Amino acid sequence: MGHGHHHGHNHAHHANKKALFFGFLLTFAYMIAETVGGWLTHSLALLSDAGHMLSDAVSLSVGLAAFKLGERAANGEKTYGYKRFEILAALFNGVALLVITAWILFEAYHRFFKPVGVESTGMMIVAVLGLIVNGLVAYILMKGDTSENLNVRAAFLHVIGDLFGSVGAIAAALLIWGFGWNWADPLMSVIVAVLILVSAWRVIKESVNVLMEGVPRGIDVEAIVRFMRSQPGVIDIHDLHVWSITSGKNALSCHVVLDRSVDWPETQKLLGRMEHELAHMGIGHVTIQFEDGSLPHKPELFCDLEDEGEGRHGHHHIHALE
């Protein structure tokens, strides 16, 4: 890695951190304003948008925390420590969003039957402010590097969702102001709540999958097994695990049984080939243990993938299950 490249990466990292920080400040400040505004104008649409803003503020701060902790732990051995923190924060965020959504839907349900008078002018002012703030944050994050960093991208998508929320609140305010349709307010809040639900569900599903050491999305285990078994000198593979350390950082470990005729230089070549190919398949951290088949194997295998390697190995497996 050249010095120039490293510097460029650091620069992008810095820009991202600054973008996230300003985004977080603006979002948080506006969330407070919107909560107060929603309370004063009796607008549920504003309150639900504030709920959405809260989720943004959280996702921005998770991104920030990941950067800060990432810097601190970059040289240490605690690689999992801070990376997993990101996932825990995301899970917490998702659950908090579910609670907020439940409250919004509950309130909206009551308001459809007993409409509450909404101060449309105040609502309008707050909503327009929201549009401006979200526009600014989106612009700041866009100038950052949304393509590369997962947290920045997540934050950016959140903010785009917010822009829609503000537009919806403006539309509802116009309807109330022009036609006195107070039901436009709870209707809008329900739409925003559904948006929040969708993002909360995604966040929860992904973070739980990471915490459960599940196979990361977009990784084809069968293709990996096929590729590894097809390599010259490989007799079999077992004890295969594929998981993600944190979003976008995938790891694989497995035992590879080699033919005894494979010598050391060839083993290294094989390892290089495997790592290269696995990197293309989306796995950056590879740990492979080479064996010659004389080791007695433990029964915890990746069973569904073991139908081909039935020899002594298979009997051992069956015996262990009895």
**Residue 234: inside a domain:** yes
32-55 mean pLDDT: 90
Same-domain status, 200 and 241? no
Are 32 and 72 part of one and the same domain?
A: yes
33 shares its domain with 105: yes
- 83 and 203 inside one domain: yes
- Whether 38 and 103 map to the same domain: the answer is yes
In a domain, 259, yes or no: yes
Q: Which helix H or strand E contains 241, and what residues bound it?
A: strand 234-246
Give the number of domains in the chain: 2
Q: Phi/psi of residue 174, each to 5°?
A: -65, -45
State the pTM of this model.
Answer: 0.68
Identify whether 182 is part of a domain: yes
Q: Is residue 216 part of a domain?
A: no
Amino acid at 48: S
Residue 178: exposure state from Cβ atoms within 10 A (0-12, 13-18, ≥19) = exposed
**Residue 181, domain member (yes or no):** yes
One domain, residues 158 and 257: no
Establish if 35 belongs to a structural domain.
yes
Residue 13 maps to a domain: yes
Q: What is the CATH number of the domain that holds 117?
A: 1.20.1510.10
294 and 194 within one domain: no
Same domain assignment for residues 103 and 243: no
Quote the domain boundaries for residue 271: 221-321
The predicted structure's pLDDT at residue 184: 92
Give the per-residue pLDDT at 185.
Answer: 93
Looking at per-residue pLDDT, the higher value among 70 and 159 belongs to 159
Mean model confidence pLDDT for the chain: 81
CA distance 205 to 144: 27
Asked whether residue 195 falls in the same domain as residue 306, the answer is no
Across 85-89, 199-203, 272-276, the highest mean pLDDT is recorded for 272-276
CATH number of 237's domain: 3.30.70.1350
Residue 218 and residue 250 in contact, taking contact as beta carbons nearer than 8 Å: no
Give the whole-number percent of the chain exceeding pLDDT 70.
81
Residues 164 and 57 in one domain: yes
Q: What is the pLDDT of residues 209-259, one digit of tens each?
A: 888 888 888 888 999 999 999 999 999 898 899 998 877 789 999 999 998
Does residue 18 share a domain with residue 85? yes
Average pLDDT, stretch 275-286? 92
Domain's final residue, options 157, 184, 211: 211
- Asked whether residue 141 falls in the same domain as residue 49, the answer is yes
Burial of 303 (0-12, 13-18, 19+ CB in 10 A): exposed
